[in-house]
Structure 1
Amino acid sequence: MSAEQLAELSDLFVVAAVLLYVVAMIAFATELAFGRARPGKAVAKADARQPVAVGAGGAPAVSESEPAPAPAGAEPPRFAAQAGRVALVLAWLGWAANFGAIVTRGLSVDRWPWGNMYEFVVAISFAAVSAFLITQIRHNIRFLGGFVMVTAALGLGLASKIFYTAAGPVVPALDSYWIAIHVTAAIIASGLFTLAGVTGVLYLLRGDGLSRLPSREDLERVAHRAIVFSFPLWTFAVIAGALWADRAWGRYWGWDPKEVWSFITWVAYAAYLHAKATAGWKGRASTIVQLVAFGCLLFNLVGVNIFISGLHSYADVD
């Protein structure tokens, strides 16, 4: 296939990925809406022990530690679980289409396919879905599926409508093997940070009573684990970027806006981890800190590229 045909195929893969992510989102939402609600902290404590029923002989008919029998009709409908399984299949198909878009884009330009804002957002959407699907293999986090799918679909939609750049060569500063090291690490870390950010938003939205979502403690645990994995990758990306800057511009650090906001993002996530490890912050306070850090990440990935000019202004957005 010619370069033009590969570029067109990449664009079609992006459209297919968006459609598959949207349908997967609907299927995940169906399971979440009609599946069994999970008790909140207050409800769980109230239901932990049932009142003692005393019989004629004074012996309790029901033990204090015995849970109450499930009410009639408590089992979720069968189609809810089936929708969840279908959603996972669709999510994997969307992931494959997203991956195909990246590969064919790279083949069409004969370089690593993240040299502009469009390619970068497509890759981050892929990384976010990858983080969700890989985590799902070991831990049941299907409740996050619909929210991750809509985030990825919106990312690809913005990439196609706002950030789109025709396939072509990159500026000389990006024509280096360092793009495979520095940018790849940043993309993987950003995907994990996105998973944590989505979970953090759900934490704030979840009520204390019955909810379709897991407990706040479980949501906080998922976000924390994602950040623990992604923070070293982001640290490596910042260091690799400094080494690349030395080769490209003859200095490790020049206070370019992208460099500054990458460091601000690193400090914000470091503050979150430090607070969790030493000050014992947890719950709403730590979630707000990590969402502030996620906001810094989004501004670094999108805002700096579009609104602030600098040596890293490679958005190519008209």
Structure 2
Amino acid sequence: MTDTTYAQLSNDAVYSAILVLFLALVGYVVYLAKVAPARARGDASRAPARELVAAGGALSSTDGAPASGTADGAGAAAGRAAGPAASGADEAGEESLGARKAAGIARSLTVLGTLLLVAGVVLRAAEVHRWPLGNMYEFALAGAMFTLLGYVAWSTRRDLRWMGAFVMAPVLAVLGSAVSVWYTDASALMPSLRSYWLAVHVTIATLSVAVFTLGAVAGVLYLLQDRIESRAGAGGSFMTRLPPGRGLERMAYSAHVVAFPLWTFTVIAGAIWARQAWGSYWNWDPKEVWSFVIWVVYAAYLHARATSGWKRQNATWIALAGFVCLILNFAVVNVFVVGQHSYSGL
């Protein structure tokens, strides 16, 4: 097949993925609308007040009462909070047949959309005859693909049907921006990018951003859930369909624990590649500086999360600040700031 054919097939696969993932989003929303709230707001376990990280890893609340669980989220409580019976609906018989059908259809559509997006990325690689990470359009496709693959893989270990809508929404936003704003035709790489480090450095960077995205989704839901749990009379909220705040926070922390070493490798590999391409490990390029800023912010989050006396709510805000830095690095620095990493293709 010709490059033009590969380009057309890639575009068709991406647009098809967007349509299928949108239908999956609708399915997940229907699921959340139909599944019955299974946790009573009067349950003391649903209102842990403002959690602190205590010395030795034990949890305590601001009123001095001990809380169950450990700082790392190990134990049966975490499994009950975010595991297959997170909503308790199956056990209580409160999950309707319509909800189960909607969730099943949404999951099948998610898998199909993920496969279509993988096909779009592979066909783009066949079109450009290189690793498909040479500009913002390709990076956005790969980032969305890794996010979906991460969600699907995570879903095989625990019931994450409640999380589907909150993952599909940002993925669709990225894909929509990719095809409408960041799309560029196939082009040859700049000389400094013609290295095996493109496959290593940029792939790991993309993967880490995908995992950070899943962590940010869980972090936002945790802050919302925590706010609702602390308010009286919020029993009618759709957030009752989600795991309790403590379980959401542990999920966010788990994702960041995986993503941070990947980003650390990204920064180190970037320095090694810079030495080969430009003769220096560090050139104070805007992308280099922002990559280090992102590393510092997420390191601060992990430090705060493990420090005695820090509220988990405040630590989560630091993590979300790191995600904002990621977005700025990709959507602003890449486009509007001129430097040695000006490879957006726009």
Please say whether Structure 1 and Structure 2 have the same fold, judged by a TM-score greater than 0.5: yes
Cα shift readout 1:234-285 (whole Å, capped 9, x = no counterpart):
1001100111111110111111000000000000000011111123534321
* Residue of structure 1 equivalent to 2:341: 312
Give the 5 Å matches for 1:135-214.
135-206=154-225, 207-208=228-229, 209-210=234-235, 211-214=240-243
- TM-score under structure 2 length normalisation: 0.81
Would the aligned equivalents of 2:143 and 2:210 in 1 still touch at CA under 8 Å? yes
Would the aligned equivalents of 2:20 and 2:109 in 1 still touch at CA under 8 Å? yes
* Residue of structure 1 equivalent to 2:5: 5
Cα separation, 2, equivalents of 1:229 and 1:316 = 30
Amino acid at match of 1:132: Y
Q: Of the two structures, which has the highest relative contact order with CA contacts closer than 8 Å and spacing of 6 or more? A: 2
* Residue of structure 1 equivalent to 2:257: 228
* Residue of structure 1 equivalent to 2:77: none
Out of 222, 237, 248, which is 1:219 matched to?
248
Shift in Å, 1:77: 2.1
* Residue of structure 2 equivalent to 1:77: 96
Cα shift readout 1:24-80 (whole Å, capped 9, x = no counterpart):
01101111111122437x5222899xxxxxxxxxxxxxxxxxxxxx9xx97232110
- TM-score under structure 1 length normalisation: 0.88
SS of 1:27's equivalent in the other structure is: helix
Would the aligned equivalents of 1:38 and 1:215 in 2 still touch at CA under 8 Å? no
Q: Which blocks of at least 5 consecutive residues in structure 1 are unaligned?
A: 49-69
* Residue of structure 2 equivalent to 1:22: 22
* Residue of structure 2 equivalent to 1:100: 119
Distance 1:227 1:2, change over 3 A: same
* Residue of structure 2 equivalent to 1:131: 150
* Residue of structure 2 equivalent to 1:43: 42
Q: Does 1:113 align with 2:142?
A: no
Would the aligned equivalents of 2:305 and 2:312 in 1 still touch at CA under 8 Å? no
Would the aligned equivalents of 2:124 and 2:132 in 1 still touch at CA under 8 Å? yes
* Residue of structure 1 equivalent to 2:69: none
Cα separation, 1, equivalents of 2:34 and 2:336 = 43
SS of 1:43's equivalent in the other structure is: coil
Q: Does 1:34 align with 2:53?
A: no
Would the aligned equivalents of 1:116 and 1:314 in 2 still touch at CA under 8 Å? yes
Percent identical across equivalent pairs? 43
Cα separation, 1, equivalents of 2:163 and 2:243 = 10
Out of 258, 264, 280, which is 2:287 matched to?
258
C-alpha root-mean-square deviation of aligned residues, in Å? 1.9
Would the aligned equivalents of 1:203 and 1:219 in 2 still touch at CA under 8 Å? yes
Cα separation, 1, equivalents of 2:321 and 2:180 = 27
Cα separation, 2, equivalents of 1:6 and 1:137 = 32
Out of 283, 286, 301, which is 2:330 matched to?
301
Q: Which blocks of at least 5 consecutive residues in structure 2 are unaligned?
A: 48-88
User: Paired residues, what number?
Assistant: 293
SS of 2:150's equivalent in the other structure is: helix
Larger radius of gyration: 1
SS of 2:131's equivalent in the other structure is: coil
